[in-house]
């Protein structure tokens, strides 16, 4: 590279590369915030990434993106990540007169600014597509499949969050569709299913993960 | 095919202990043509659409006979059961010795809901009686596990939704069976067994006839290693009485011998059939999934590899491709190479020159590994994904942050927020797209090298932006992402046009 900043970790793992035109970091611009099921994620604006984890006493979480403002399904704690090149981001969250600032080739577009946040999301897993979802109706309610075929991550802790921007939760008459996650102890499972019950018939099926999922630990 | 059966004469029998006029147990002895053999608890089996004709007589059937020269109908066990056409409106009637009592089966009619009818007859004021029981055999499906099978391999046939067949009789393997047989493309019955023919896992006294019972609804056919290749049909039949019972099949009375009216394998008694092809056996070459993969600190990394072109010897050989998990939750799956089908654990049947896309998942923990296997015919290849040690999440010790070099941004508490040893998320390409039609695709180019276009290095997130408040709009998101070189292609398979946003994140 003729100029810029390229940061790599062990095994040449990626940290940052300013030569990727248009690249922008995603700082945590809103720390852990509570949202109750059925309510909108407060502070969200288009372009943000929502990461969440279940509130105490909750296992399965999802999100409803069928309306302009996404809503939580299941009580959650969530954080918001916003692109560094967004105008108006605060520049006093981690010092204000010092730090590291990286610009794009135009010299004005901010790719990273260490003053944007005093928190970080340390990515732990980038789970791909192809997890099958599924489950079965049992005991009067639908029980999502939490077999090893849907296992995403085994080391979740109290600071582990998952990307909710790919979730889906909707009830259409007698059909329920849900794409989300189940937290069971330190394991995180992909959840994806449809279930219908009415007009004398019932059934269900799996919805394989069609978008990539990201899991990270919040550092504050 | 609808069949008309006419049984031999059913004779009334002497000395019931209870006078006629009712239907108490023991009052009317069951008439069976085969004693304790094939039909110990039924007079005959039929299928939907069949017509059966049963002649009744009070004459000498071996016990001297009675005096009355006609037989009276006493009704059915249940008034709702189907009566013979010759019965009167009061579930009675009388016909001279040898006259036929007939009925045509309509399986969808309520009287056949219990899959049986029992007719009671008497003569000589009840001193001579008899009953006939006719059971309707119905099934919901009969299938083979595949439409092709290689010489020397097996094919499992499965029956479901069986009703009307009596339960097996302990110690009498011939009782209450359905039969499966194989015909070649000319309709000839395959009677050769062993290495040049067929073998059933549950066979009758003739090895080329397989059996199914209420307690054994599958039967595995082993195709001999030197059995002739070509098209075959497996036929499922109920037992049909002696050959001369069959008087008419689908409007014809011209029979080609036992192939039509044999009681075990005649098509007059056919309930269902399944066609399949026997292919030549052979070997394959070309299977290679490439080197094992080190996912570094990426957990649950999904890896896709192509098998390479599979060459079959002989070229007519159609090998089976299967996947399995050897170590850990490898989540091994496959799809036919060159397609965008969903990955599945189901077996594939390949042809010469095809390939397989293999997919597996890496460990969901650090310092671990998973191994998935792709097996094609006699060959297999194992692929292993390793993860490295936990890089740590900050602080001054452990993982990648312990080195004497690098860049680290911390907060005022000293917690690392950015830099070496901290796996960041950097958006490298994003766009909000207008509605993409169902079954349509769009392709985008990433600003990275093709080698970095993997799920463990670049997460491609699709945010579905279709909004509706109607609870009656019943489509939901179904997107697929495929990668090629430094591009990725998004496909909408939801059933309706949907806007979306993609976010490509370097991780």
* pLDDT tens digits along B20-75: 555 555 678 889 988 778 889 899 999 999 999 999 999 998 888 899 999 999 87
Q: What is the ipTM of this complex?
A: 0.91
Residues of A in Cβ contact (< 8 Å) with B296: 10-11, 13
Instruction: Name the average pLDDT for chain A.
Output: 88
**Alpha carbon B65 to chain centroid, angstroms:** 52
Instruction: Give me the CATH code for the B284-386 domain, please.
Output: 2.60.40.10
What integer is the mean pLDDT of B142-149?
92
d(CA B86, CA B90): 11
DSSP state of B225: T
**What is the model's pLDDT at position B215?**
94
Tens of pLDDT along B109-130?
988 999 999 999 999 988 899 9
d(CA B183, CA B185): 7
Please tell us whether the domain made up of B141-279 is placed in CATH 3.40.50.720: no
CB within 8 Å of A138: residues ≥ 6 apart: none
Top residue of B294, B296, B299 to mutate, by most chain A CBs within 10 Å, is: B299
Q: What is the radius of gyration, based on Cα positions, of chain A?
A: 19
What integer is the mean pLDDT of B209-238?
96
**What is the model's pLDDT at position A82?**
94
Domain ranges of chain B: 3-136, 141-279, 284-386, 426-506
Q: In the numeric block, which tokens belong to residue B345?
A: 């654990």
Q: What parts of chain A have a pLDDT lower than 70?
A: 1-3, 10-12
SS3 content of chain B, % helix, strand, coil (to 5): 5, 45, 50
In terms of phi and psi (left: phi > 0; alpha: psi -120 to 50; beta: otherwise), the region of B505 is beta
Q: What is the dihedral of CA A111, A115, A118, A120, to 10 degrees?
A: 10
Helices (H) and strands (E) in chain B, counts: 1, 38
Top residue of A6, A7, A8, A9 to mutate, by most chain B CBs within 10 Å, is: A9
Locate tokens 């720390």: which residue?
A31
Q: What is the radius of gyration, based on Cα positions, of chain B?
A: 34
* CB crowding B182-212: b at 16 or more within 10 Å, else e: bbeeeeebbebbeeebbbbeebbeeebbbbb
Residue B131: pLDDT over 50: yes
Q: Give the model's confidence band at B400: pLDDT under 50 very low, under 70 low, under 90 confident, else very high.
A: very low
Q: In the numeric block, which tokens belong to residue A83?
A: 């692109």
DSSP state of A21: T
Residues B237 and B265: beta-carbon distance below 8 Å? yes
**Alpha carbon B317 to chain centroid, angstroms:** 24
Residues A84 and A110: beta-carbon distance below 8 Å? yes
Q: Give the model's confidence band at B17: pLDDT under 50 very low, under 70 low, under 90 confident, else very high.
A: low
SS3 content of chain A, % helix, strand, coil (to 5): 5, 50, 45
Nearest to A126 by CA among B185, B298, B335: B298
d(CA A109, CA A98): 18
The nearest alpha carbon in chain A to B302 belongs to A128
What integer is the mean pLDDT of B75-99?
85
Task: Report the gap between the CA of B489 and the closest CA in chain A (Å).
Answer: 12
Under an 8 A CB cutoff, do B294 and A11 touch? yes
Please tell us whether the domain made up of B3-136 is placed in CATH 3.90.550: no
**What is the model's pLDDT at position B397?**
34
Residues B242 and B181: beta-carbon distance below 8 Å? no
Residues of A in Cβ contact (< 8 Å) with B506: 14, 17, 20, 23
| Long-range contacts from B102-105, C-beta under 8 angstroms, 24+ separation | B102/B51, B102/B52, B102/B53, B102/B54, B103/B51, B103/B52, B103/B134, B104/B49, B104/B50, B104/B51, B105/B46, B105/B47, B105/B48, B105/B49, B105/B50, B105/B51, B105/B52, B105/B136
Nearest to B100 by CA among B12, B8, B13: B8
Q: How many CB atoms lie within 10 A of CB B117?
A: 24
Residues of B in Cβ contact (< 8 Å) with A168: 464, 476-477
Under an 8 A CB cutoff, do B296 and A13 touch? yes
Residues B8 and B33: beta-carbon distance below 8 Å? yes
Q: How many CB atoms lie within 10 A of CB B339?
A: 9
d(CA A42, CA A30): 10
The nearest alpha carbon in chain A to B325 belongs to A149
Q: In the numeric block, which tokens belong to residue B360?
A: 């597996």
d(CA B153, CA B136): 35
What integer is the mean pLDDT of B201-230?
95
Instruction: Name the average pLDDT for chain B.
Output: 88
**What is the model's pLDDT at position B80?**
62
CB within 8 Å of A110: residues ≥ 6 apart: A24, A84, A85, A101, A102, A103, A104
**What is the model's pLDDT at position B374?**
97
Nearest to A53 by CA among A162, A127, A126: A162
d(CA A179, CA A62): 6
Under an 8 A CB cutoff, do B364 and A151 touch? yes
Locate tokens 């009789």: which residue?
B169
**What is the model's pLDDT at position B77?**
65
Q: What is the dihedral of CA B410, B415, B417, B423, to 10 degrees?
A: 130
Top residue of A8, A15, A27 to mutate, by most chain B CBs within 10 Å, is: A15
**What is the model's pLDDT at position B396?**
33
Tens of pLDDT along B454-504?
877 888 999 888 887 776 777 888 888 888 889 999 999 888 899 999 999
% of chain B exceeding 70 in pLDDT? 93
**What is the model's pLDDT at position B452?**
85
Under an 8 A CB cutoff, do B476 and A170 touch? yes
DSSP characters for B227-243? Answer: PPPEEEEEEEEE----G
DSSP state of B258: H
């Amino acid at each position: 590279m003729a100029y810029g900043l390229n940061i790599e970790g062990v095994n040449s793992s990626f940290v940052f590369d300013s030569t990727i035109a248009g690249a922008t970091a995603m700082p945590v611009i809103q720390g852990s915030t509570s949202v109750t099921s059925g309510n909108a994620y407060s502070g969200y604006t288009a372009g943000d990434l929502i990461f969440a984890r279940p509130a105490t006493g909750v296992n399965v979480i999802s999100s409803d993106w069928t309306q302009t403002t996404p809503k939580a399904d299941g009580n959650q704690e969530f954080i918001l990540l916003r692109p560094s090149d967004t105008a108006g981001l605060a520049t006093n969250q981690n010092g204000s007169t010092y730090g590291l600032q990286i610009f794009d080739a135009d010299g004005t577009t901010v790719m990273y600014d260490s003053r944007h946040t005093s928190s970080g999301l340390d990515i732990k897993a980038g789970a791909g597509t192809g997890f099958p979802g599924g489950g079965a109706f049992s005991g009067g309610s639908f029980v999502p499949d939490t077999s090893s075929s849907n296992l995403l991550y085994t080391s979740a802790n109290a600071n582990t969050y998952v990307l909710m921007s790919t979730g889906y939760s909707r009830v259409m008459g007698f059909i329920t569709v849900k794409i989300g996650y189940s937290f069971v102890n330190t394991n995180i499972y992909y959840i994806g299913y449809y279930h219908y019950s009415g007009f004398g018939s019932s059934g269900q099926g799996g919805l394989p993960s069609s978008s990539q999922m990201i899991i990270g630990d919040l550092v504050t | 095919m609808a069949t008309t059966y006419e049984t031999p004469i059913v004779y009334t029998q002497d000395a019931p202990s209870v006078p006629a006029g009712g239907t108490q147990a023991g009052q009317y002895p069951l008439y069976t043509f085969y004693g304790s053999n094939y039909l110990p608890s039924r007079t005959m089996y039929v299928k939907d659409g069949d017509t059966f004709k049963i002649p009744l007589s009070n004459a000498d059937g071996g016990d001297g006979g009675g005096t009355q020269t006609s037989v009276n109908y006493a009704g059915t066990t249940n008034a709702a059961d189907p009566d013979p056409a010759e019965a009167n409106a009061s579930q009675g009637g009388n016909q001279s010795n040898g006259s036929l009592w007939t009925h045509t089966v309509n399986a969808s009619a309520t009287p056949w809901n219990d899959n049986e009818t029992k007719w009671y007859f008497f003569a000589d004021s009840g001193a001579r009686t008899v009953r006939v029981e006719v059971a309707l055999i119905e099934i919901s499906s009969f299938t083979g596990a595949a439409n092709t099978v290689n010489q020397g391999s097996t094919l499992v046939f499965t029956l479901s939704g069986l009703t009307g067949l009596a339960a097996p009789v302990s110690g009498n393997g011939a009782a209450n069976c359905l039969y499966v047989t194989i015909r070649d493309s000319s309709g000839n019955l395959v009677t050769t067994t062993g290495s040049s023919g067929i073998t059933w896992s549950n066979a009758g006294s003739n090895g080329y006839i397989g059996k199914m019972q209420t307690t054994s609804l599958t039967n595995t056919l082993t195709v001999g290693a030197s059995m002739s290749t070509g098209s075959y049909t497996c036929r499922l039949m109920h037992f049909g009485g002696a050959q001369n019972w069959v008087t008419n099949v689908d409007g014809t009375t011209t029979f080609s011998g036992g192939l039509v009216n044999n009681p075990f394998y005649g098509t007059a008694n056919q309930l269902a059939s399944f066609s399949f092809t026997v292919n030549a056996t052979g070997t394959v070459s070309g299977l290679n999934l490439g080197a094992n993969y080190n996912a570094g600190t990426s957990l649950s990394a999904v890896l896709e590899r192509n098998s390479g072109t599979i060459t079959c010897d002989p070229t007519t050989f159609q090998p089976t491709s299967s996947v399995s998990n050897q170590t850990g939750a490898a989540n091994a799956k496959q799809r036919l190479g060159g397609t965008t089908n969903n990955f599945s654990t189901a077996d594939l049947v390949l042809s010469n020159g095809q390939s397989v896309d293999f997919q597996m998942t890496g460990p969901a923990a650090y310092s671990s590994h998973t191994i998935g296997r792709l097996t094609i015919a006699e060959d297999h290849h194992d692929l292993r994904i390793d993860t490295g040690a936990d890089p740590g999440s900050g602080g001054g010790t452990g993982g990648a942050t312990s080195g004497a070099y690098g860049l680290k941004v911390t907060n005022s508490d000293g917690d690392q927020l950015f830099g070496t040893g901290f796996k960041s998320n950097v958006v490298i390409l994003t766009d909000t797209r207008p509605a993409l039609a169902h079954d349509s695709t769009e392709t985008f180019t990433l600003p990275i090298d093709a080698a970095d276009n993997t799920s463990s290095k670049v997460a491609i997130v699709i945010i579905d932006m279709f909004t509706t408040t109607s609870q009656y709009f019943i489509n939901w998101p179904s997107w697929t992402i495929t990668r090629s070189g430094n591009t990725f292609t998004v496909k909408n398979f939801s059933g309706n046009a949907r806007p979306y946003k993609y976010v490509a994140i370097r991780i």
